[in-house]
Amino acid sequence: MTLLDLEQIKDKEIAGRKKIVLRCCLAAGCTSSDSKNVKARLDQAVVAAGLQDQVEVRGVGCMKLCCDGPLVQVDPANTLYIKVTADSTPSIIAALSGGKSDLPQGDPQAAFFTKQLSIVLANSGVIDPERIEDYIAADGYLALHHALTEMEPRGVVEAVVQSGLRGRGGAGFPTGLKWSTVAKSPGAKKYIICNADEGDPGAFMDRSVLESDPHAVLEGMAVAAYAVGADQGFIYVRAEYPLAISRLQIAIKQAKRIGLLGMGVFESPFNFNIDLRIGAGAFVCGEETALMASVEGKRGTPRPRPPFPAERGLWDCPTLINNVETFANIPAIMRRGAEWFASIGTEKSKGTKVFALAGKIKNTGLIEVPMGTPLRTIVEEMGGGAPGGGAIKAVQTGGPSGGCIPAQHLDTPVDYESLTKLGSIMGSGGMIVMDETTNMVDVARYFLEFCMDESCGKCVPCRTGTVQMHHFLEKILAKKATARDLTHLEELCDMVRNTSLCGLGQNAPNPVQSTLRFFRHEYDALLQPELHSGGNGVAQPQPLAGAK
């Protein structure tokens, strides 16, 4: 494979394109509402109408407006059909030759689409994720060629540093700094890991990227491997994502076949292989040290850091772990330059962020917006507010480790620092909207229950502290708790946060603490007056005098 070969594939692909393209979403969301059948029927209808020379029906990845799926978009007419059924397909084809269609249509000029800025999702919903030629036609693998043939590994790391890209997995650690640490770590064998163990309730960003544009992730990993000097990569993807797994398998096979992965990539001395590792359903395996233990075939439990994976990771070798979205940003940065990337976003948070909009909101789906976009723009303009026009009460970001941001802070720009200041986190990108009917204590209980169930059981505060916190919340919700219970709960939150071994435990109190911070009155309203004897008339044990 050379640059010439790559260009030939691209030219051939573009030359072979037909006049009209019907893009039919085949990502998990639309597939679950029968879009596979819609695609098959569209194919049949095209043949029946004798239009097969002019019309291509392309199965594509996520087209973002998931709530209105299955989606079919017609190019170049820019018509977006929503909630398409198999029976409505002949009518879509009839409309191509001038007929009128009264099928429900979405507005491609709505704020939901126009306010987006696609870098990571640029190919999502546009290319066929199961065909490498389609990715190459969209300038795919040019970035890898550019890095391998025109740049030193050090230069690649420097470019990522200059871009200001920060980890999209949640913590926001500067990606360039991580890469340079791994590059500098001594060792003949190094590894690259792509963390695709997305487990936050209501989050589906990584899944959509893998289903819609798997090659972007592979290319990002290959660039990273060249930069840090690794020759083996792993993608750790959860078993609950069968479609993402199958598309990754196809993508890896295709890239290997034409010499973009494997031995001597682009006829250079650079070798790079990628293997998949399938997670077995433990949320904690999204934590990097637990993930590595799992890749090694051990029980997926975290270990104390330092040593950080960059120094001693997989099988004690220097290891670079980045999230799916982080890797998916790399090809664009290499192609268009670090300066271009750094010009997007805010001072400390560069580029864009993909969010999965869910909950009590009209337009649920996937959005990619520049860092620093106010929450209000996302929720009210793009999301269309609460269905039925109810008032929005809070937005939960960061999944079970995140926090609730109340409506009065909706003008907060979305960036790492601003969200942290409000007691939440950017997280991986789950965004759950709550309206006025939501009980915030119940929300806290829900997320805490999730953390309690997903605790690995290794360290005491997370394993049993979350159980006791959950007890207190149940007691409050059952209107059986007193002010003293609330004090104990707050004390436990502080203890679990400060003493837990890994991020799961350290952030588990977030939903409780952030709802307490902004919605304390909802807790207070459920408390009962202090009694000196228990409800059964038995005096409760009082602490001994002098006890701490």
Where along the sequence are the contacts to other proteins (CB under 8 A)?
A: 282, 299, 303-304, 306, 452-461, 463-468, 471, 488, 491-492, 495, 498-501, 541, 543-544, 547-548
Q: What is the smallest separation between the CB atom of 422 and other proteins, expressed in angstroms?
A: 19
Least distance between other proteins and beta carbon 462 (Å): 8
| Residue placing its CB nearer to other proteins in the complex, 242 or 281 | 281
d(CA 291, CA 302): 8
Nearest partner of 214 among 253, 240, 176, judged by Cα = 253
Residue closer to other proteins (CB basis): 164 or 509: 509
Q: Look at the block and give the residue holding tokens 């709960």.
A: 489
In whole angstroms, give the CA distance from residue 443 to residue 458: 26
| Residue 244 beta carbon to other proteins: minimum distance, rounded to whole angstroms | 24
CB of 309 to other proteins, least distance (A): 15
Whole-angstrom Cα distance, residue 388 to residue 393? 14
- Least distance between other proteins and beta carbon 488 (Å): 6
Q: How far is the CB of 481 from other proteins (least distance, A)?
A: 11
Nearer to other proteins, 36 or 488 (CB): 488
Bridge pairing between strands 72-75 and 20-25: antiparallel
Residue 456's SS3 state is coil
Residues 6+ apart with CB under 8 A from 319: 182, 190, 191, 192, 193, 292, 309, 310, 313
Q: Which is nearer to other proteins, 36 or 475 (CB)?
A: 475
Q: In which order are the strands placed within the sheet that holds 79-81?
A: 55-60, 20-25, 72-75, 79-81, 105-106
Name the residue nearer to other proteins (CB basis): 248 or 451. 451
Count other Cβ atoms within 10 Å, centred on residue 360: 21
Comparing CB distances to other proteins, the nearer of 100 and 548 is: 548
Nearest to other proteins of 4, 539 (CB atom): 539
**Minimum CB distance to other proteins smaller for 57 or for 492:** 492
Closest CA to 319 of 353, 296, 338, 349: 296
Rounded Cα distance, 251 and 153, in Å: 25
Q: Which is nearer to other proteins, 366 or 459 (CB)?
A: 459
Distance CA 1, CA 141 (A): 11
**Measuring CA to CA, which residue among 212, 200, 168, 194 is closest to residue 66?**
212
β pairing state of 319-323 and 352-359 = unpaired
Instruction: Give me the residues paired with residue 350 across strands.
Output: 345
As measured in angstroms, the least distance from the Cβ of 308 to other proteins is 13
Question: Going by C-beta distance under 8 Å and a sequence separation of 6 or more, which residues neighbour residue 389?
Answer: none
CB of 242 to other proteins, least distance (A): 23
User: Closest distance between other proteins and the C-beta of residue 59, in Å?
Assistant: 38
3-state secondary structure of 102: coil
Tell me the two tokens of residue 229.
């000097």
